[in-house]
Amino acid sequence: MSDPHVPRRALVLLVVLTLVWGTNWPIFALAVREMSVWTFRSISLPVAGLLLLVVARLRGHALAIPRTHWPTVTAATLSYLAVWNIASTYASVLIPSGQAAVLGFTMPLWSALIGWLLLGERMRARLLLALALGAAAVAMLMLRSFDVYAQAPLGLALGLLAGFGWAVGSLILKRRPPDVPVIVLTGWQLLITAVPIVSVAAVIGDHQWFVPSWTTIAVIAYITLVPMAIGNVVWFSIAGLLPVNVAGLSTVMVPMVAMVSGAIVHGEPLGPLQLMAMACCAASLVLALYRPAARAPRAADPPVR
């Protein structure tokens, strides 16, 4: 039976996020075939941010964020979106996209560790077991890839950095959430992220004007609109409905979809070990989001005093 603390809306959003983000990873490499990672992100981030703010305004939302919340929003944005967008994209280019997704989605493990060590958070036995299963899935998926990581250690480091930055940013925002609509918050966060990335792109990005192929344009347009704009709105909605560690665990199926997509698009490995990892991820998700319903008292039970 569904956990009463898990809103049905969160489960629907989880399905949407899994499909949107999971199918996104294999096409990262297609987006940067003709341009640098920095140029790609300097196009997609501001366009996605502006698009969300325009939609928010058309829906009648105020676009202002209270001044007292700007330090929190900025710190969370730079920790999550700035680190994530660059580190995860480079990782997916340096190592197989499915493996990069798995490393990036170590976020719930980092979140639980930070919460326990620095914030004094207690972990329920069910959530600890969910984390253990998630860690086992990551270990199984990494087992066959140590030779890849040995050849591209930077890809391994960047994949883990992406997950760590995501965890830190989510924890910062969860502790002091601004009272603004999710679509407004997401739009501003994407624009804040664009500032340092566009600045760096001006220095080390592509230094010549050119028109990429229609395939590249279509891929960038899709990533900008669907995974980046819609996907981030869905993620921040889930994070607002659930605790950060549970919200993070709710995304464990994303790298599984990424691995299946990578196998279809790029012929990346998908065998018994990967299927076992998927089973662990599915079990972790069930443990994180479900628990048995409380047993109804029977007539013979003694009254509660």
pLDDT in tens, 230-246: 988 988 888 778 776 67
**How far apart are alpha carbons 250 and 22 in whole angstroms?**
13
Q: Residue 2's closest CA among 273, 257, 261, 242? A: 242
Q: What is the rounded average pLDDT for all residues in the chain?
A: 80
Domain boundaries, the chain: 8-289
**How far apart are alpha carbons 262 and 40 in whole angstroms?**
20
**Residue reference for tokens 């919200």:** 247
Residue 130 is inside which H or E element, if any? Answer: helix 125-143
DSSP 150: H
Provide the residue type at 187 as one letter. Answer: G
Predicted local confidence at residue 203, as pLDDT: 84
pLDDT in tens, 205-233: 777 777 788 988 999 999 999 988 998 89
Taking CA atoms, 111 is separated from 79, 84, 165, 171, 278, in Å, by 13, 15, 10, 7, 21
Predicted local confidence at residue 148, as pLDDT: 62
Greater model confidence, 252 or 148 = 252
With 50 as the cut, is the pLDDT of residue 2 above it? no
**How far apart are alpha carbons 243 and 223 in whole angstroms?**
27
For the chain, the helix, strand and coil percentages under 3-state DSSP, each to the nearest 5: 75, 0, 25
**Residue reference for tokens 């890839």:** 145
> Are the C-beta atoms of residues 159 and 95 closer than 8 Å to each other?
yes
DSSP 82: I
Structure tokens belonging to residue 223: 């990533």
pLDDT in tens, 85-120: 788 878 877 877 667 777 787 787 788 788 777 777
pLDDT in tens, 159-204: 889 989 988 988 888 888 888 998 999 999 999 999 988 988 888 7
Predicted local confidence at residue 1, as pLDDT: 38
Predicted local confidence at residue 269, as pLDDT: 65
Q: Give this prediction's pTM.
A: 0.76
